[in-house]
Amino acid sequence: MKLLLATVNVVVAVSLLAWFPALLVLPMLFDAPGSESNQGAQAIALTILIYPLPVVAGNKYFWQGYQRVEALKLAAYTGLSLAGPVMLLISFALAHFACHGSVACG
């Protein structure tokens, strides 16, 4: 169980490598006229901005307690790590459904 949780945490931590390029292109999300008032774009931008916070916190707590903490608590720390990717997927899905198949409503 601990090995599976450790693998998930490593994969999520490696996903942080894609965060900085996403941060660099984030202003392009608001490039179209009227997109700065689009709530879907704002939700996506917010989740991209805060993406590393739960990932880093969850990984920090996970690896600090890896040797001495029971698997259930490690699973909770892994859940904290997964909160970043899950929030990002939810915001993309909500923007997709709210805009009838497009990320940006127009």
Residue 73 belongs to a domain:
yes
Residue 50 belongs to a domain:
yes
Calculate the alpha carbon distances from 5 to 33, 45, 87 in Å: 44, 28, 19
Domain count, the chain: 1
Which residue reads 């774009």 in tokens? 41
What DSSP character marks residue 50? H
Residue 91 belongs to a domain:
yes
Asked if 55 and 12 count as a contact pair (C-beta separation under 8 A), the reply is yes
- pTM of the predicted structure, to 2 decimals: 0.85
Rounded Cα distance, 6 and 39, in Å: 35
Residue 28 belongs to a domain:
no
Q: Which domain holds residue 47?
A: 2-22+34-98
Residue 83 belongs to a domain:
yes
Rounded Cα distance, 73 and 69, in Å: 7
- pLDDT tens for each residue of 62-75: 999 999 999 999 99
Q: Which two tokens stand for residue 66?
A: 């890896």
Residue 42 belongs to a domain:
yes
- pLDDT tens for each residue of 22-62: 999 999 988 888 778 888 888 889 999 999 999 999 999 99
